[in-house]
Structure 1
Amino acid sequence: MSSIKQLFIRYRRLTHCFLAALIALILYWNFARPSGFNVVLLVAQLLPLAALAPGLYSQYYRAYSWLCFVMLLYFVLAVMGAFASTASLVDYLFVLLSTALFISSMMCSRYAQRVQKNITD
């Protein structure tokens, strides 16, 4: 197995782990809100990630690229929450997870494109 393929597999696993952690954090945040659970807010937060799920499942490199773009929006929201006067540990964890997911999906997209187009070093 080529080193590019191994790197793709490694970053794909990292991306999927960070994505699962981000979804779990969003679910926790929605259920632990002081104002109570809001299903509309939960759907609005998870819909962009769910829209990318088929492409991520099929390991298409453009889905990972789109995940990077989507993560920029989540990053902006996370930083706004982290700098708010009511910031909590969840907000800082949200910044950390969105940054890690952006980096891992960016690298996964890079190596997936090389694997799918048969580009070697």
Structure 2
Amino acid sequence: MPQKINQANRIYQVCLALYAGLILSLLAETWWLNPPQGSIVGISALQLLPLLLPLPGLLKRGLRAASWLCFILCFYFISGVLDAWFRPEQPQGWLITGFSVLLFIGSMMFIRWQAQVNRSLAES
């Protein structure tokens, strides 16, 4: 039981770090590396709003919020792959793709391990 709790705690921390990395890479692309024409604040809000929706539930270690994050990450993965495909010389597409894949895998592992911990605690 303590091993499962430690696994869930570690992967939760990894997920939060990857989540912050994805947000920072999106902000870096929009504000410094490839600033778009038009309102930078509006474009940043459109990029980050879907990603920030499950944040309150994720901070409470909610399994439903983590599963919704996995669905939302599909759009960031597609965006990153397209960016890497059309501009392979720039690292932003690769970073967004990498962060979204790793965060997806980490979130799925967190869902599994935290559900096992919750089930064990309910049985006790």
Percent identity of equivalent pairs: 31
Pair 1:4 & 2:26 matched: no
**How does the TM-score come out when normalised to structure 2?**
0.87
* Corresponding residue number in structure 2 for 1:104: 106
- Do the aligned partners of 2:29 and 2:35 also contact (CA within 8 Å) in 1? no
Q: Give the direction of change, closer, same or farther, for the CA distance of 1:40–1:54 in structure 2 (3 Å limit).
A: same
Q: Give the direction of change, closer, same or farther, for the CA distance of 1:69–1:87 in structure 2 (3 Å limit).
A: farther
Question: What per-residue deviation string (whole Å, max 9, x for no partner) do you get for residues 73-101 of structure 1?
Answer: 11011101110146511111111111111
- Report the number of matched residues: 120
Looking at structure 1, the residues matched to 22 and 81 of structure 2 have their Cα atoms a distance apart, in angstroms, of: 15
Looking at structure 2, the residues matched to 77 and 35 of structure 1 have their Cα atoms a distance apart, in angstroms, of: 15
* Corresponding residue number in structure 2 for 1:16: 16
* Structure 2: tracts of 5 or more residues without a match: none
* Structure 1: tracts of 5 or more residues without a match: none
* Corresponding residue number in structure 1 for 2:27: 27
Where relative contact order (Cα < 8 A, 6+ residues apart) is larger, the structure is 1
Looking at structure 2, the residues matched to 114 and 46 of structure 1 have their Cα atoms a distance apart, in angstroms, of: 31
Greater helix percent: which structure?
2
**How does the TM-score come out when normalised to structure 1?**
0.89
